Amino acid sequence: MARPENRLPSPRAMITAPQPEAVEAGLAILAGGGNAMDAVLACALTQGVIDPLMCGVAGLGVLQIFDAATGDHVVMNGLSTCPSACTETMWQDVFEGECPDGYGYILKGHVNELGHSAVTTPGILRLLAQAHGRWGSKPWASLFEPAIAAATEGWIIRPHVATMFALDETAYGRVSYRDKLAHTEDGKRLYLRPDGSPKRLGDTVRNLDLATSLALIAREGAEALHTGELARQIIANMEKHGGLLSAADLAGFTPEVEPPLSILYHGRTIAVPPPPADGIMVAEMLRIMERFDLSALGHNSVDFIAIFAEAMKYAGRDKDRHIGDPRFVTPPLERLLSDAYADECAAAIRGGSKVALPRGDADGEHTTTVSCVDADGMVATLTHTLGLPSGVIVPGTGFMLNGAMNWYDPRPGRAGSIGPGKRRFSSMSPTIVLEEGHPVATIGAPGGAWIPIAIAQALVNVLDFGMTMQEAVQAPRFSATSDAIDIGNRIPRATQRALEAKGYEVRRLAATFPFAGVHGITMWNGKLEGGADPQRDGLAAGLI
């Protein structure tokens, strides 16, 4: 019997993100005549209201945009910088170790994670302002309306937000989220119940202070946070509590704009953000995997997983050794992406060698993403985060400050060591795929160190196995960010046993959909199809 014909009309624009309310905000902007940049900005601002531990106006991010009308194709880097008061050796005496899961560093008193000393110079708001000034079409202030409405009217805690509020990471050497929510009086009032427990699924959050702050930024622009009234409030609070961030740090931050890092994969261009973002890992994995006949191996077969896991470990090892802020550490990109190096890695994998990869530094999971395609062919994909949220809400502002100092290595002399003005490495990798110069897919993900490995798997699912984007993002995934292979609970037990027979330590996760939260859109022959990872409560929605 033939498959029933899909009779749904094809969308002329589409947006996807992990939060349905934020998708609705972006879709409304598209319906009102806005373009993809406008929709991404409105969606991102709304995400900061309804996912307050994931992102916000005091966070950081990476944007990739392709504008068919102008031919612009660039990456904007709004990754945060170390405050100028930082020194490479300032925390070496309180260093206790790396977090056992690789997400950051353990210091006495958690000074790099909780409180004012954990805060880096935020970059997301100036990134959005500059991107809007160059590519936006709707008035800046109008794009804040959905976020202000969500903060004013209130929003209901969804499953993934409830999970984050209740998250206890003390086993990994990090602070529990209850402690972060309770760090300030404003946090307690907004996010805790009267008994001191985090608000739960179905509870409502109204944040009038945040609505006021957003209205101020809507009127005065990003400078409200960098040089204006919000900046003055933040710096006064920093000085009161011994924070590192200064007025000069806030005023001096500038996003970097540069071409994407691009490779060919089976004749298509994969465009990813260059360092200190983590597109290099996506690119290196694909360069290695291109040396194998993946369709002949079979999707998620034993050999497929073993080969891909080794490619993940090569890319992870090279990231740990070489990738940081290029202004401080020059990355050997030409060598890492060369035919010779990919051939060398592939030959070693065929020969049965295994890469040694002790756990190193990585992002946390506290990130979100949004991708959009409009009717005129503009493609915008943004990943943004608070890092590990610091717990600091400056009284009366309503938004939490980032805690991204957690990912700088307190040990001097390393690629990721602390340094004044140094941009932190980030696993964020918003990606665009092009065919003969035209975009055919865009994809991004939250999920820390799992971001590049999840994006690479979803790309292989689409490009090698012909999956739709929804099929690609919900297919079972695996991870090798250490010497072990971690697998999702839908990968068969027989496959696990066969991998163990090959000498691998295999760790089965209880989660049905682990390893980042991939969201994307394909554009084959002008037909838009979206995908939203089921683990993140998200949505892909089209404008008919």
Catalytic site includes residue 481: no
Residue closest to 381 by CA, chosen among 337, 427, 333, 433: 433
How many C-alpha atoms does 501 have within 13 Å on its Cβ side? 8
- pLDDT tens, position by position, 335-368: 999 999 999 999 999 999 999 887 544 444 568 9
pTM recorded for the entire structure: 0.94
385 strand-pairing partners: 60, 367
Tokens at residue 370, please? 């949004």
- pLDDT tens, position by position, 440-482: 999 999 988 899 999 999 999 999 999 999 999 999 999 998 8
What's the chain's average pLDDT?
A: 93
What share of the chain has pLDDT > 90, as a percent? 82
> Residue 361: what pLDDT?
40
Distances (CA, A) of 329 to 84, 259, 361, 425: 18, 19, 16, 11
Would you state the torsion angle of the CA atoms of residues 145, 151, 155, 157, taken in this order, to the nearest 10 degrees? 130
- pLDDT tens, position by position, 167-211: 888 877 788 899 999 999 999 999 999 999 999 999 999 999 999
Q: Say if residue 276 is preceded by a cis peptide, omega within 30 of 0.
A: yes
Residue closest to 445 by CA, chosen among 491, 508, 514: 514
Residues 475 and 472: their CA atoms lie apart, in Å, by 5
Quick one: CA dihedral 211, 212, 214, 219, positive or negative?
positive
Looking at residue 519, the DSSP 8-state letter turns out to be E
Q: What mean pLDDT comes out for the span 508-533?
A: 92
Contact 504, 309 (CB under 8 A): yes
Residue closest to 56 by CA, chosen among 281, 225, 188: 225
Count other C-beta atoms under 10 Å from residue 405's C-beta.
29
Whose tokens are 């405050």? That residue is: 83
Residue closest to 87 by CA, chosen among 333, 417, 364: 417
Grouping H, G, I as helix, E, B as strand and the rest as coil, residue 483 is coil
| Active-site entry in 367, 381, 383, 385 | 367
Residues 391 and 178: their CA atoms lie apart, in Å, by 10
- pLDDT tens, position by position, 234-287: 999 999 999 999 999 999 999 999 999 999 999 999 999 999 999 999 999 999
> Residue 112: what pLDDT?
95
Quick one: CA dihedral 519, 521, 522, 527, positive or negative?
positive
Length of the chain: 544
- pLDDT tens, position by position, 126-174: 999 999 999 999 999 999 999 999 999 999 999 999 998 998 888 777 8
154 exposed, middle or buried (CB, 10 Å; 0-12, 13-18, 19+)?
Answer: middle
pLDDT at 101 over 70: no
> Cβ contacts of residue 46 below 8 Å, gap of 6+?
19, 21, 22, 25, 26, 146, 147, 150
DSSP for 154-192 reads -EEPPHHHHHHHT---GGGTS--HHHHHTSSHHHHHHHB
Residues 247 and 252: their CA atoms lie apart, in Å, by 8
Residue closest to 53 by CA, chosen among 370, 363, 392: 392
Residue closest to 323 by CA, chosen among 310, 333, 313: 333
Whose tokens are 């993403």? That residue is: 369
Q: Cα–chain-centroid distance for residue 517?
A: 9
Residues 305 and 445: their CA atoms lie apart, in Å, by 21
Q: What mean pLDDT comes out for the span 35-61?
A: 97
> Residue 240: what pLDDT?
97
pLDDT grade for 419, boundaries at 50, 70 and 90: very high
Residue closest to 403 by CA, chosen among 32, 56, 50: 56
> Cβ contacts of residue 493 below 8 Å, gap of 6+?
none
> Residue 97: what pLDDT?
86
Helix, strand, coil abundance in the chain, percent, nearest 5: 40, 20, 45
All structural domains of the chain: 258-363+428-536 (1.10.246.130)
Least confident of 246-260, 363-377, 482-496, 497-511: 363-377
Q: What mean pLDDT comes out for the span 482-504?
A: 95
Contact 279, 335 (CB under 8 A): no
